[in-house]
């Protein structure tokens, strides 16, 4: 599907940019001004916290947009920059098919991330955090490698790093515990995220997309 078939003039979109290969992605906001070709968009300069985000010709970005049936995205390239009397405009060329982000079938990325977790207790004193590593992670849950014996049905609090200085604090439900066959850990623990806000899930999914891009650039996936 080409952008002309689904994107409307005047529509607000999210522009996801990565300034450097190892930098965190930034989600900016813009508006569609024109659809000059079947696979091209003319948008206003993206804004982040009230400040313009300058895009370079040839820069690769991701466009997110929303419909009643879900969130969609596609990759694009900056092919021109224009200035009118009132606004700066960016011309984009679609470089990938349009994908629907499946909320019920999240992409699962195999990656090792240090995660801090602890059991959720009902008493006044909470246990200390313990360290584990992910075997994989998605917007719906993760597999943890740990020496701590957990039981299905237990709830845990997890601190998951999503960048150099940021992390998410999420609640999870232990749904599976099996002996570990990866590395030197005793147990592999399947955790399903519960009571997660959509904004938190979106941040996690954006981080996963970012890590997927890095691994692809290095030829590791």
What band does 123 get if pLDDT is binned at 50, 70 and 90?
low
Residue 102 pLDDT? 60
For the cut 70, the answer to whether the pLDDT of residue 80 exceeds it is: yes
Same domain, 181 and 120: yes
Residues pairing with 34 in the sheet: 42
Phi, psi of 142 (to 5 degrees): -160, 165
Count Cβ neighbours within 10 Å for each residue of 15-47 and write b for 16 or more, e otherwise: bbbbeeeeeebeebebebbebeeeebbbbbbbe
Mean pLDDT, range 5-21, rounded to an integer: 83
Task: For residues 76 and 28, give the distance between their C-alpha atoms in angstroms, rounded to a whole number.
Answer: 15
Same domain, 119 and 97: no
Task: For residues 1 and 189, give the distance between their C-alpha atoms in angstroms, rounded to a whole number.
Answer: 39
Residue 198 pLDDT? 76
Same domain, 125 and 200: yes
Structural domain of residue 34, as residue ranges?
Answer: 3-101
First to last CA, the chain: 26
Which has more pLDDT, 49 or 84? 84
Same domain, 118 and 53: no
Domain of residue 37, CATH code: 2.30.110.10
Weakest mean pLDDT among 38-42, 106-110, 180-184: 180-184
Q: How many CB atoms lie within 10 A of CB 117?
A: 24
Same domain, 179 and 148: yes
Residue 20 pLDDT? 62
Task: For residues 151 and 94, give the distance between their C-alpha atoms in angstroms, rounded to a whole number.
Answer: 47
Whether 108 maps to a domain, the answer reads no
The total of structural domains in the chain comes to: 2
The residues, any chain, with a CB within 8 Å of residue 50's CB and separated by 6 or more, are: none
Residues pairing with 134 in the sheet: 144
Domain of residue 171, CATH code: 2.40.10.220
The dihedral over CA atoms of 48, 54, 57, 61, expressed in degrees to the nearest 10, equals -20
Does the pTM of the predicted model rise above 0.75? no
For the cut 90, the answer to whether the pLDDT of residue 188 exceeds it is: yes
Residue 183 pLDDT? 72
Residue 209 pLDDT? 83
Task: For residues 173 and 137, give the distance between their C-alpha atoms in angstroms, rounded to a whole number.
Answer: 14
């Amino acid at each position: 599907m080409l952008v002309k078939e689904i994107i409307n003039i005047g529509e607000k979109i999210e522009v996801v940019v990565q300034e450097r290969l190892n930098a965190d992605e930034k989600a900016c906001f813009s508006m569609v001004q024109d659809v000059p070709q079947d696979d091209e968009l003319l948008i206003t300069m993206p804004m982040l916290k009230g400040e313009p985000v300058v895009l370079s010709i040839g820069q690769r970005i991701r466009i997110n947009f929303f419909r009643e049936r879900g969130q969609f995205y596609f990759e694009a390239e900056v092919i021109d920059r224009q200035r009118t009397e009132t606004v700066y405009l960016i011309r984009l060329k679609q470089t990938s098919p349009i994908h629907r982000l499946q909320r019920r079938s999240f992409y699962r990325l195999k990656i090792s991330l240090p995660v801090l977790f602890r059991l959720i207790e009902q008493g006044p004193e909470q246990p200390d955090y313990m360290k584990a590593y992910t075997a994989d992670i998605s917007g719906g849950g993760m597999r943890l490698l740990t020496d701590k014996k957990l039981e299905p049905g237990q709830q845990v609090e997890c601190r998951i790093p999503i960048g150099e200085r940021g992390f998410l604090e999420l609640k999870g439900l232990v749904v599976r515990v099996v002996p570990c066959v990866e590395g030197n850990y005793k147990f592999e623990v399947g955790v399903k995220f519960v009571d997660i806000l959509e904004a938190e899930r979106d941040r996690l999914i954006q981080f996963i997309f970012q890590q997927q891009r890095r691994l692809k650039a290095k030829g590791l996936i």
